[in-house]
Amino acid sequence: MSEDLIHLSAVDAVAALKTGEVSPLDLLDAQEKRIAAVDGAVNALPTRCFDRARKRAKALMARAGNLDPTSPGWLAGLPIAVKDMNPVAGVRTTFGSPIYANHVPTRSDVMVSTLERHGALVSAKSNTPEFAAGAHTFNDVFGATKNPWDLSKSCGGSSGGSAVALATGMAWLATGSDLGGSLRIPAAFNGVVGLRPSPGRVAQGPLADPFSPLSMEGPMGRSLADCALMLDAMAGRDPLDPLSRDAPAHSFLSAAQRQSLPRRVAWSADLNVTPMAAVQREVAEAATRRFGGLGADLVEARLDLSDAMACFQTLRAVQFATAMAPLLEKHRDRLKPEVVWNIEKGLALSVDEVARANRTRARIVQRMARLFETVDVLATPTTCVPPFPLEHRYVEEVEGQTLATYVDWLAITFAITVTGCPALSLPAGLTPEGLPVGLQLVGRPGGEAALLSHAAALEADIGFFRSLPMTPET
């Protein structure tokens, strides 16, 4: 029974919860058993809180008669994994940092509270790099999370623990956050789906800079429908987030289940912003061409986002300085060098440099608006390399080109961050070595519903999600 439950999609698991075919306690039992069997090999969910989850499950079951199971995003007692960047009341939350190794918050953050109001049960915290800095999941508190497709490889990051938990059947849904690609990159490296929403779609906070549109919370799942279900449970307005907006009238799940074909898809191998490994380009382009086989028009994107590199690096440094300068003052010796570098870069910026980055971002937003006047979806590879060796801190070279910083290899995703457009990573296929490759699909600002619907048409044609969950070979 428990093995069967692990193989259910999130959509099917919630349907079974709503009919009473299974209970939240059944799912928690199945999840706990699966984690015990698998997580020792991959180290994705180092903190578990099943006692808290069972207590909340029983309270939810006692109120079942007073709840509306037809409400969009109602998760009905589905267990979820929450990234260790998000405070959960009463649960150890470390942010991947020795500074917070024993931190237990008394209140959950906005996103977690929203999910719990929609019937989610937080049963585990997923591993993340220190303060989510970098796209490789390792830290001095819990160690590294391994890629289940090849345990010698990186699982990506910073939402790496969430992606691995999904791929291996240790969670039906998991949360992620995305500044420069932290949802999309681990989704690509592990063969799952990660969606970065438009600014304000998912309320978040409290934040040091609640007006920044750079870092977003979003859903991760084994399929687009599962991601859409979670987005319904996350979406909505909250007074702590001044960018947040009301949930839409129609559910994202219904949009994903419609599977509408885009009329026109633009393809770019690199956005003129990054070197690109040949295998990434080939697998992602082949997946994009499937849109053409289904009847969509394919065009080469005449889009140059090379100016996004300096723009993002500046705005990212501002965010680090805003949020973390006090930590640098008190705990410099306990921060990893990449975090120190980012904070100091932000503190050293001039007003002219920040103003220049903001003007560049405005031009990029206008450029994307013009692109979406004639196309429905922009497609690129999600990453410039396949999963790399676990012992490497980050990617230093691509196709013979040396990269200047630890985040340069994220350029294909962080260039899209600057645009403010919603973007997701969809499994596109495998490398010859059997490692997942992701296809990044980008939609119009605020256009998550259309993006999910268009991407679902391609997902059904590729069919990769049917191979999950998988068990890592040890």
| Annotation says 182 is catalytic | yes
Tokens 């059944």 appear where? 26
Q: Which of 226, 275, 136 is nearest to 427 (CA)?
A: 226
Q: Which of 213, 268, 214, 276 is nearest to 409 (CA)?
A: 276
Catalytic site residue 260? no
Catalytic residue among 18, 23, 83, 159: 83
Query: Residue 170's closest CA among 14, 36, 11, 23?
Result: 36
CA–CA gap between residue 202 and residue 449 (Å, rounded): 14
Is 229 within 8 Å of 73 (Cβ atoms)?
yes
Q: Which of 97, 162, 182, 244 is catalytic?
A: 182
> What does the radius of gyration of the chain's CA atoms come to, in whole angstroms?
20
- DSSP 3-state assignment of 423? strand
Start-to-end CA span in the chain (Å) = 24
Active site residue 9: no
CA angle (315, 318, 319) in 5-degree steps:
90
Q: Please choose, from the candidates 348, 342, 350, 308, the residue with its C-alpha nearest in 3D space to the C-alpha of residue 323.
A: 342
Helix orientation angle between 308-331 and 411-419, rounded to the nearest 10 degrees: 100
The token duo for 281 is 């380009």
* Residue from 457, 442, 30 nearest 197 by CA: 442
Catalytic residue among 158, 198, 425, 453: 158
Alpha helices in 70-193 (DSSP H): 110-117, 160-167, 184-190
Tokens of 51: 């006692």
Give the SS3 label for residue 353.
Answer: helix
- CA distance to 178, 183, 190, per residue, from 382 (Å): 13, 10, 12
Token representation of residue 79: 């267990």
Q: Are strands 150-154 and 146-147 parallel, antiparallel or unpaired?
A: antiparallel
CA triplet 316, 234, 450: central angle to 5 degrees? 85
Which residues make beta-bridge pairs with 146?
154
Return the closest-CA partner of residue 32 out of 48, 21, 17. 48
How far apart CA 193 and CA 225 sit, in angstroms, is 10
CA 381 to chain centroid, in Å, comes to: 16
Question: Can you tell me which residue has the tokens 């040091």?
Answer: 208
**Calpha distance 91→107 (Å, rounded):** 9
Which residue type is seen at 339?
V
Report the catalytic residues: 83, 158, 182
